[in-house]
Amino acid sequence: MENSIELKEISFSDHDDRKIIQDISLEFRPGKTTAIVGPSGGGKSTVLKISAGLIHPNQGEVLYNGKNIALMSRSETLDFRREAAFVFQDSALWANMDLFQALELPLKIHFPNMTKKQRQDRINEVTAQAGYRKDLNIRPSRLSMGEQKLIAFARAMLCNPSVIFLDEWTESLDENSADRLVKIVRRKQIENATILFVSHDMRIIMDLADFVVIVDDGKVTKNAPKDSIISDLLLNDFVKIGIAS
């Protein structure tokens, strides 16, 4: 099935051999949105990065449309990178490129036949949608954290992804900017994109999620439709797993 992601018996340890993820198996439903939540340091961002193929597990497999991401050919990996997009919690913008160069790079890689004018138009389109209307010929260091988030989000939308990974993507944003990005994610839902996101914001979880996965101490403690999980949790549970109202 298209845009399906499956984790099979995943474990991951850091360089000090400390277990971050322990024997996790998950299926993220195609065309649905899953919120990954949990306490700080519980492993939720690691699960997100492993699901996106950005971190390779020490044990287990990550399957995209039934194929092991780690065993994909170069062309299959390129296709996956074009179809999937990741917004990092810290934005992860290239410090040695100006904003336009950083945004132009994925278009050059994935759409080599695009003209300079077409790339310019696409970059202007996605930055305007994200709410960034300032100069693109500057380095990321001149931006606020919120502005960096807008550029990182715009970069993720450039290739019109069908699989989207979002790590605290509304952090450092004012309410209007956050709402603008949420509306873009809603449009991607209408297009049947498969979306995985990490957030501690109850409003966004309630607005966007079809399913909720709770990761605590490197393990999945709950995995169910949003409404059934939310109705089962008490106020103390929300505090424990780091969800704010």
The CATH number that applies at residue 11 is: 3.40.50.300
The three-state DSSP-derived secondary structure of the chain is: CCCCEEEEEEEEECCCCCEEEEEEEEEECCCCEEEEECCCCCCHHHHHHHHCCCCCCCEEEEEECCEEHHHCCHHHHHHHHHHEEEECCCCCCCCCCCHHHHHHHHHHHHCCCCCHHHHHHHHHHHHHHHCCCCCCCCCHHHCCHHHHHHHHHHHHHCCCCCEEEEECCCCCCCHHHHHHHHHHHHHHHHCCCEEEEECCEHHHHHHHCCEEEEEECCEEEEEEEHHHHHHHCCHHHHHHCCCEC
* Assigned token pair, 120: 């310019």
In a domain, 114, yes or no: yes
Per the model's pLDDT, the better-predicted residue between 109 and 236 turns out to be 109
In a domain, 117, yes or no: yes
Domain count, the chain: 1
Sorted by sequence, the CB contacts under 8 Å of residue 83 that are 6+ apart come out as 3, 159, 161, 162, 163
Q: What pLDDT shows up at residue 244?
A: 58
Q: Decide: 54 and 86 in contact? Cβ < 8 Å.
A: yes
What's the maximum distance between 2 C-alpha atoms anywhere in the chain?
A: 55
In a domain, 79, yes or no: yes
In a domain, 141, yes or no: yes
Report pTM: 0.93
Q: What pLDDT shows up at residue 1?
A: 53
AA letter at 46: T
- When mean pLDDT is compared across 54-68, 160-174, 223-237, the lowest value belongs to 223-237
Confidence of residue 16 (pLDDT cuts 50, 70, 90): confident
**Mean pLDDT, range 197-206, rounded to an integer:** 91
**Per-chain mean pLDDT for the chain:** 92
Q: What pLDDT shows up at residue 172?
A: 85
Q: What pLDDT shows up at residue 241?
A: 66
In a domain, 245, yes or no: no
Residue 82 sits at φ, ψ, to 5 deg, of -75, -40
For residue 79, pLDDT over 70 is answered with yes
* Assigned token pair, 44: 């939720």
pLDDT tens-place string over residues 148-198: 999 999 999 999 999 999 999 998 899 999 999 999 999 999 999 999 999
For residue 121, pLDDT over 90 is answered with yes
For residue 114, pLDDT over 70 is answered with yes
* Residue 240 C-alpha from the chain's centroid: 23
In a domain, 152, yes or no: yes
**Mean pLDDT, range 40-69, rounded to an integer:** 95
Percent of all residues in the chain with a pLDDT value above 70, rounded to a whole number: 94
In a domain, 86, yes or no: yes
Encode burial over 221-244: b for 16+ CB neighbours within 10 A, e otherwise.
ebbeebeebbeeeeeeebeebbbe
In a domain, 75, yes or no: yes
Domain membership of residue 111 as a residue range: 5-240
For residue 238, pLDDT over 80 is answered with no
pLDDT tens-place string over residues 129-151: 999 999 999 999 999 999 999 99
